[in-house]
Structure 1
């Protein structure tokens, strides 16, 4: 079997996709169906932009900040390192990443889960804010992980999101890294140009270098 050269790291978006309690789930309605009177099937979607793999815009955690349509795209495309921190506990700390920290590229994705959750689990791993700052000091411009948020579900201060704002970093959440070996890749995870939105879904993929 030839080696795999493309990894789809996006979960399927469906009505069963896990979401933060109170968030808008994915719904699909048909506004037209193929028939002798209609030449096409046509659907309409309702969902939070945080369902599935997504890129938070700064507007998500700061008023008057950039929306999904305004963020520069370069952070979401280019060399990337996947680092395994499986079983790291509630917070990804610096010591969980140091084994793979030499020569970091501008994008770092952290695999916390043996298998990404398919139901809502409030006990997911998040980033310690000092880890975000440590990565930024090493030239990292985008961080990502295979859980719903860079901050714990119970956080009200969103310290790691505020580090993203302060350091002008971008973030990807809800990735699926179950089958991805630790190492270096090309990341492609462009957000949609959604005017006024606090986030955007992405179809995130990794490509072998």
Structure 2
């Protein structure tokens, strides 16, 4: 069995969504003071690094993180290349058999410099959500920080995916991953009021 870590590194100075909370880790209670241990303090957004979106993120009446079915985030997943695409729609999946595939991860390789937040990303087109839903897909993952364009305020892809029962996993690191079949594990934290949650996402392959 091989394990691939597909999570972005969480470290001070890492890029976050413009205007969002900067990531910061510090040892707030060092061994010199406690007498026995170092204890760290974190400040971060719920959408820092590799993360899942809860529907509450874009819908005041949507489910929170604690309400999501953990089975969504564990199980077979297919990595599909979408390198060079400016957007991803149903037409890009012509000839790809997705019947029975519950989790799809799109590898765009468009986030070229991981130390800088991207100015433009491939986005999900409106027709993709119902197409994926018709195939049984329940989770979509991407190696960019949003399923919508960076400057979008209406967030049509977020809403359309939610309407079709498809959950969202963003900011994966898929550079070293070949297209194919894997097992995905990307569990969110049990945040009772959470609109999103960082995850440690991995792929397993036998």
Normalising by structure 1, what TM-score? 0.92
Instruction: Please show how residues 21-40 of structure 1 align to structure 2 within 5 Å.
Output: 21-35=18-32, 38-40=35-37
Give how far 1:72 is off: 1.0
Q: C-alpha separation between the residues in 1 aligned to 2:78 and 2:133?
A: 14
- Does residue 175 in structure 1 map to residue 178 in structure 2? no
Distance 1:117 1:195, change over 3 A: farther
Q: Deviations over 1:26-60 (max 9, x none)?
A: 11122211137521100110000111100001110
Alignment gaps of 5+ in structure 1: none
Alpha-carbon RMSD? 1.6
Residue of structure 1 equivalent to 2:89 = 93
Matching residue within 52, 57, 61 for 2:49: 52
1:189 aligned to 2:186? Answer: yes
Cα distance change of structure 1 residues 174 and 116 upon mapping to structure 2, 3 Å threshold:
farther
For 1:74, the equivalent position in structure 2 comes to 71
Distance 1:81 1:133, change over 3 A: same
For structure 2, the 5+ residue unaligned runs are: none
Q: 1:208 to 1:122 in 2, by over 3 A?
A: same
Number of aligned pairs?
205
CA deviation profile, 1:77-121 (whole Å, cap 9, x unmatched): 0010000010101x1122323343343510000001166541111
1:105 to 101, 104, 107: 101
C-alpha distance in 1, partners of 2:113/2:164?
Answer: 29
Which has the larger displacement, 185-194 or 28-37? Answer: 28-37
Structure 1 residues 153 and 131 mapped into 2: Cα distance closer, same or farther (>3 Å)?
same
SS in 1 for 2:25: strand
Say if 2:110 and 2:122, in contact at 8 Å, map to a contact too.
no
Q: Does 1:12 align with 2:4?
A: no
